[in-house]
Structure 1
Amino acid sequence: MDEASLRADMIEGLEHSIGEPIEPSVLTALQRVPRDPFVDDSPRGGAVDGDDPHSLSLETVVRLVTALDAHEGDAVLVVGAGIGYSVAMIAEIVGARHVHAVDIDRSAVVTARSNLDAAGYEAALVDRADGADGLPAYAPYDRILLEAAVIEPPRALREQLAADGRIVYPRGAGVQTVTAAEPSPPEGSDGDDVSAVGDDADDPAPVGFETVETHGPARLQPMLVEGEQPGVERNRTRREDAEHAERGRRRRHGWEQDWIDWDDRI
């Protein structure tokens, strides 16, 4: 079976698992973005969420990118570049030069850059940064996508979103709901153009935001903070003890620490 047939079967299977047709822009991206540069498996599928923090299942990628509702020319920030596949999907929709991605794991940044180059999306920027801080140098963003589970998006990310923008994130712990939130309409406006999922009192969106769309479920790794990336001791006490010990080892000891005033001693 050729790759085109495999890809058609993959898309049909995705629509069956999601339970609805795939949005046209997302469908086009699925058809155009090659899988081989990003994963070793066939075009049929992808990783299972939770098995690899850098690789999401195709079903989750489709849900995230669909909820993002990005359009050509939108400035997009992706927090959690991973293997770069979802970055490529978004680049196919909005244009590679409009996509910025960050990842706290340096090895993931290298992998994502390499994969995007191989797939023809080298114009997408991928930088090593703490996702909780966003990427203020290129703000504001029309769309922000978090590829890590949070209860609510960090304040820095919310502040880097355009006034009429949208932020998408897997909300919750354990099994999450893919959530799209937008800034709440100013007081006094009727807000008829925004269809919120629930009343303000029941909406778990951050203050100043309202939930406009949900997809689910998803099971992504929680958002990491500085010091929690792979290869770094995750227990803060042990990590800080080791850092103090290392600084102590490098510190000079003995007589060289004492200033000797030779004039007083002669």
Structure 2
Amino acid sequence: MDPAVLREDMVDGLESAAKDVLQDETVAVAMRDVPRHEFFEDDRSAYADRDHDALGTRVLAPSTVARLLQALSLEGDEAVLIVGAGVGYTAAVVAEVVGETNVHAVDISRPLVVEARQNLARAGYEGVLVDRRDGANGLPEYAPFDRILLEAAAVDPPRALLDQLTQRGRLVFPCGTQQQRLEAVNADGERTEFDAVTFDPLLVEGEQSGAVERNRMTREDREHAMRRAESRRGWEQDWIEWEESVGSR
């Protein structure tokens, strides 16, 4: 069957009363325009509303992509960072709304970065920047961003991502561990909750598919150490400052 017809059927299904997932016309138009089959090996399965596995990651179902992008609340000219590039499909849909050169995507998995670049180029979105990074650190070289989409679960949004938002920016991420909800966080800390979701946890260096060592404690240890240092008060803080001043002589 013609992929264009499959694409129309996919979006119509998401807009139907039975699913009632997609209400944002801007997102609907973008999803109708992006050739999703260019990001998959099989044309027909590409337009099925279900998750897929690819190169050690979960490729999101169209209904999940629709929920994420509606929560992101795109208006048409924002600079966007996508943390978790995957195979590149979400980045392509965002590019349809804000323009290719306004979209930046990172992934911790090198094979996925290569895959996303190839898929995006084949689908006609060569202008999207895709780089291999630890997503928790964002992409400071291109910050600030008007919108940041984190396609992985976290208990709290990484501080580096919040710091890379513009003053009126918005970060969308799945919040929680076993029980998760989609949340949007503004730069001033205001939060908005959306539907329940299920995402894999945010990975750090060493946890990606094919890594020699998989250790999720790396970032947690660093964050706990920073919190302990920031919580020191009184004589303990004075002692630290005295040690620093002595060491600098």
For the aligned pair, the TM-score class normalised by the smaller chain equals 0.7 to 0.9
Amino acid at match of 2:89: Y
Change (3 A) 1:154 1:7: same
**SS across alignment from 2:82:** strand
Q: Which structure: greater helix fraction?
A: 2
Q: Any conservation in 2 of the 1:54–1:83 contact (CA below 8 Å)? A: no
Runs of 4+ in structure 1 off by over 6 angstroms are none
Amino acid at match of 2:98: V
Structure 2 residue 201 is the aligned partner of structure 1 residue 217:
no
Q: CA deviation at 1:226?
A: 0.7
- State how far apart, in whole Å, the 2-side matches of 1:226 and 1:113 are: 21
- State how far apart, in whole Å, the 2-side matches of 1:236 and 1:174 are: 19
Counterpart in 2 of 1:26? Answer: 27
Counterpart in 1 of 2:180? Answer: 176
Change (3 A) 1:236 1:20: closer
- State how far apart, in whole Å, the 2-side matches of 1:21 and 1:65 are: 10
- 1:61-118 CA distance string (max 9 Å, x none): 1111111111222100000000000000001100000001100000000000000000
- State how far apart, in whole Å, the 2-side matches of 1:18 and 1:152 are: 29
Q: CA deviation at 1:49?
A: 7.0
Amino acid at match of 1:139: A
- State how far apart, in whole Å, the 2-side matches of 1:137 and 1:90 are: 20
Counterpart in 1 of 2:164? Answer: 160
Q: CA deviation at 1:119?
A: 0.6
Counterpart in 1 of 2:48? Answer: 45
Counting aligned pairs with the same residue, the percent is 47
Amino acid at match of 2:36: R
- State how far apart, in whole Å, the 2-side matches of 1:236 and 1:8 are: 43
- State how far apart, in whole Å, the 2-side matches of 1:175 and 1:85 are: 26
Q: Any conservation in 1 of the 2:208–2:214 contact (CA below 8 Å)? A: no
Q: CA deviation at 1:18?
A: 4.4
Among candidates 142, 145, 170, match of residue 146 of structure 2: 142
Amino acid at match of 1:63: R
Cα RMSD, aligned residues only: 2.1
- 1:151-202 CA distance string (max 9 Å, x none): 1110000000001000000111134211111133xxxxxxxxxxxxxxxxxx
Q: CA deviation at 1:47?
A: 4.3
Q: Any conservation in 2 of the 1:178–1:216 contact (CA below 8 Å)? A: yes
- State how far apart, in whole Å, the 2-side matches of 1:70 and 1:2 are: 29
**SS across alignment from 1:36:** helix
Structure 2 residue 4 is the aligned partner of structure 1 residue 4:
yes
Amino acid at match of 1:230: S
Q: Any conservation in 2 of the 1:149–1:170 contact (CA below 8 Å)? A: yes
Counterpart in 2 of 1:14? Answer: 14
Counterpart in 2 of 1:58? Answer: 62
Q: CA deviation at 1:15?
A: 2.7
- State how far apart, in whole Å, the 2-side matches of 1:145 and 1:31 are: 21
Aligned residues: 212
- State how far apart, in whole Å, the 2-side matches of 1:224 and 1:15 are: 33
Q: CA deviation at 1:13?
A: 2.0
Normalised TM-score (structure 1): 0.74
- 1:107-133 CA distance string (max 9 Å, x none): 000000000000111001000011011
**SS across alignment from 1:114:** helix
**SS across alignment from 2:207:** coil
Could you say which structure has the larger radius of gyration?
A: 1
Higher relative contact order (CA 8 A, sep 6+): 1
- State how far apart, in whole Å, the 2-side matches of 1:103 and 1:21 are: 26
